[in-house]
Each structure stands twice: as structure tokens, then as C-alpha cells.
């Protein structure tokens, strides 16, 4: 099924927020590509530079793999498609002097460069910030590393799982040690990479505005130092704030919210349901709906603070009650009472949810729309951009590209003759 929405339906007449912005994407895997995909969705021309033959590492991170027209697995991992739509892929060997010269030529006219090599890793190629700034003072250059450009860990490689552990996120995720299945647990998505991509794209937009805004623009670019560890600490949010206020480290509590009650999952007669009661009014409406209005008047439960302090007493009452109805029965009962309540879906069930479908959050993009992609994948399904701008909405123009799909096209735009491209290809430079 192909769903469309105002935020994702291609429309040539719609303006793009970042039209005219050129991005040279030297990043790989997830954090950097997530940032550049957001810029691409908003209309920037993102040229993704990949290694000849191998490409981005995530092209091989499977299973699962994309399917061909006959439903058979291809060699293209689906992971790559999560963060590389709307980009044009070229292959360049940056270890070769001619490849370096080509990338410097492109950076000299780019607005943004994004890279996630180790600290100092691009200096040997003349692709570091200082080298490119000398060619293009307007360049916004974003480096993404595990631990930043300075400090005792700067030289270390950084990975999402490692940072989830180091920043304390795993210490507050999962069930407590004394409970069944207890122990540190990573989040099911590489959230530190994703958040780093979001922070990076925000920083890039801020730098472009500082350069170009009509009132106070400097006309100059700047360097952006993004670190996964910095982001991991930042997204601890209220958990970090609580520690800083009390010097008491929070622990794992499963699906229970440390500062709200009842705000968790409950077993039902036929499965599980999620209650997310965030204020006293919601709790009172819940109590009335389930036939226990007195609970909301009980001094132990009358306020959220009291409910948190007396959580065990509250759960002794609620746990058996919640098992008297089925999941959908609870949702039906509470949804018109302004009591937040919902199912705990699988990913498959989430995509079948009527609200997800109404918002057009699945979009099928033809791989061959702009010409043969060089592989047997005809269509790629992706998740629509969640950004809903009324005047300059994101437009999903292109499916995630095949490796090097746009090499000839992009280099041709730079005035490089087909014969020269053919020579470079024969030499393994592109």
C-alpha cells in the first residue's frame, strides 16, 4: 500500500525550505546520514560520497535485505534505506589524489560538509575543516565523532551501544535487577545515533542562518563538533535533572515512570495495555470510569506526588482490576474520558494502525523513477518525514539510491567529460 500525506507527497510546485543548499555528505552508518537525510527532505541537494565497490557500511548490514521484483533477497540491506532517501550517491576513492582533488573541488562550492571520520582522519586527504575553509570560507563543516574533538577519549571510536552504556542510559532502561529479566538493557533503536543526527541537523541549520540571515548574517561558515557522548548525556533529560538536583542516581524501573503514577503498562485479560495518567484530573476520571471514585479522594492517591510515594499500594488495587477486561475493552472504555490509554503494538501492528495510515506514514518510493538504478530493486518503502510545514513541506523525491547511481550525473554537472569519468572508473577512482 502506498500512503500519501501533505508532508510527503511529491509536488513540483511546492517550494523547498532548503532549496539551493548544497551538502557534501562524507558520513556513513547512521548519525551523519540521519542528519543529512533531514536536510535532503527539506530540499537540500545532498550528494552522498561512498567508497567504490563497498559503499556505506550499512549497505551490508543484513539481514533483512531488500527484495527484488520476484520477492527474493537482494544483496542490499534494508538498514541503508532508513537514512539515505532523497540523496544522490556517487563513488569516489578519497585515498587517491585525484579523488581528493575532486572532493575538494566540490567542497569549494558546497554549503555544508558532514563527516564522521575519527578525529583528524581527513587531514591526510586535505578534506579537514581548515583545508576546506581556506577554499570556501562560507562552508559549514560538521564533524560527528563518539567523544568529540578534545578530552581524554577523543581518539576513541564511538558506537551507539557503547555510548548508551557510558552515558547511563542502560542503567535506567530495563527491569530492576531483582525482577525477572532484570539488568541493563539497550534501547531497541540506536537512539544516540538518531538523536545525534537530529542535533547535528539543528546545528547545521543554525550555522546556515548565522551565515545568511538578512539582518545579521556574517557571510562565513563555521565548524560544528558533535559528539555521541555529549548527546547521550543531554537526552537523559529529566533523569539527569533529577540526579543533578539530588545527587541520587536513578535506577531501572521497567515501564514505570519515576515521577508519575499510574504511568506504565498493565496486564489485561488478554494481553497488555498502557496507561499514561499525567495529572490528577485524569486520575479522577479514570477512577470514576472504573467504578472506584473513592480512590481519587483517598489521601494516598489524591495527588500525583502522593501516588508516586504510595505506588505499591496503588498497584495492589489496580493490578487485579486491570486484568478483569481485555485490552481493547479498556481502550474503548477510557478513550472518550480523556484518560490516555493505548495498546502496546508490534511494529507490524503500528503500521496497520488507522491513525498511522491516516497520517500517511508509510511511503513507497520507486527506485527507477529517475532512470535505471543498477540493481533489481523496483520500490523501497520508507517512513514519511514527521515534519509538517504548511508552506515548505518536506518532499520525498527520490528513493534511497543504489551505490554510485548518480556518479555520472553529478560529475557531469561539474563539467567532467564522460570520457574522463570512464577513465576514472577504470582506474577505481570513482
193 in catalytic set: yes
Q: Supply the DSSP symbol for 389.
A: -
Q: How far apart are CA 73 and CA 309, in angstroms?
A: 53
Count the neighbouring beta carbons within 10 Å of the beta carbon of residue 214.
5
In 3D space, the residue among 144, 327, 342 whose CA is nearest the CA of residue 227 turns out to be: 144
C-alpha cell at 23: 551538502
Beta strands in 319-398 (DSSP E): 341-343, 362-366, 379-383
Q: Is 106 helix (H, G, I), strand (E, B) or coil?
A: helix
Cis status, amide bond into 262, omega within 30 of 0: yes
Q: How far apart are CA 50 and CA 400, in angstroms?
A: 13
Write the DSSP assignment of 285-337 as a string of letters: HHHHHTT-GGGGGSTTTSSHHHHHHTHHHHHHHHHHHHTTS-HHHHHHHHGGG
Of 111, 193, 247, 375, the active-site residue reads 193
Catalytic residue IDs: 193
Amino acid at each position: 500500500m502506498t500512503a500519501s500525506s501533505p508532508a510527503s507527497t511529491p509536488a513540483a510546485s511546492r517550494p523547498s525550505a532548503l532549496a539551493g543548499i548544497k551538502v557534501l555528505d562524507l558520513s556513513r552508518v547512521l548519525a551523519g546520514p540521519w542528519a543529512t537525510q533531514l536536510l535532503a527532505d527539506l530540499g537540500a541537494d545532498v550528494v552522498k560520497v561512498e567508497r567504490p565497490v563497498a559503499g556505506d557500511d550499512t549497505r551490508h548490514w543484513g539481514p533483512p535485505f531488500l527484495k527484488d521484483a520476484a520477492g527474493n533477497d537482494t544483496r542490499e540491506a534494508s538498514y541503508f534505506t532508513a537514512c539515505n532517501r532523497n540523496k544522490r550517491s556517487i563513488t569516489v576513492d578519497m585515498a587517491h589524489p585525484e579523488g581528493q582533488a575532486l572532493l575538494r573541488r566540490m567542497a569549494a562550492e558546497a554549503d555544508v560538509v558532514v563527516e564522521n571520520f575519527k578525529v583528524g582522519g581527513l587531514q591526510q586527504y586535505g578534506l579537514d575543516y581548515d583545508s576546506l575553509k581556506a577554499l570556501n570560507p562560507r562552508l559549514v563543516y560538521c564533524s560527528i565523532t563518539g567523544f568529540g574533538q578534545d578530552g581524554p577519549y577523543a581518539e576513541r571510536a564511538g558506537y551507539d551501544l557503547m555510548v548508551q552504556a557510558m552515558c547511563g542510559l542502560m542503567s535506567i532502561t530495563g527491569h530492576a535487577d531483582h525482577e525477572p529479566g532484570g539488568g541493563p538493557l539497550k534501547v531497541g533503536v540506536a537512539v544516540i545515533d538518531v538523536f545525534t543526527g537530529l542535533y547535528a541537523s539543528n546545528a547545521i541549520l543554525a550555522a546556515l542562518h548565522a551565515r545568511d540571515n538578512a539582518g545579521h548574517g556574517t557571510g562565513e561558515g563555521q565548524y560544528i563538533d558533535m559528539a555521541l557522548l555529549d548527546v547521550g548525556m543531554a537526552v537523559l533529560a529529566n533523569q539527569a535533572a533529577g540526579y543533578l538536583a539530588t545527587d541520587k542516581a536513578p535506577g531501572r524501573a521497567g515501564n514505570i515512570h519515576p515521577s508519575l503514577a499510574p504511568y506504565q503498562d498493565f496486564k489485561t485479560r488478554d494481553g497488555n495495555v498502557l496507561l499514561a495518567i499525567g495529572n490528577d484530573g485524569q486520575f479522577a476520571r479514570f477512577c470514576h470510569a472504573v467504578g472506584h471514585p473513592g480512590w481519587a479522594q483517598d489521601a494516598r492517591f489524591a495527588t500525583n506526588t502522593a501516588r508516586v510515594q504510595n505506588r505499591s499500594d496503588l498497584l495492589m488495587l489496580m493490578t487485579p482490576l486491570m486484568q478483569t477486561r481485555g485490552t481493547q475493552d479498556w481502550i474503548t472504555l477510557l478513550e472518550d474520558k480523556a484518560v490516555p490509554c493505548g495498546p502496546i503494538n508490534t511494529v507490524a501492528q503500528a503500521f496497520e494502525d488507522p491513525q498511522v495510515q491516516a497520517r500517511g506514514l508509510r511511503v513507497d518510493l520507486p527506485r527507477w523513477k529517475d532512470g535505471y538504478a543498477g540493481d533489481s530493486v523496483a520500490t523501497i518503502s520508507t517512513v514519511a518525514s514527521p515534519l509538517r510545514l504548511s508552506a515548505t513541506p518536506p518532499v520525498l523525491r527520490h528513493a534511497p539510491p543504489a551505490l554510485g547511481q548518480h556518479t555520472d550525473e553529478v560529475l557531469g554537472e561539474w563539467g567532467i567529460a564522460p570520457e574522463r569519468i570512464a577513465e576514472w572508473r577504470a582506474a577505481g577512482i570513482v
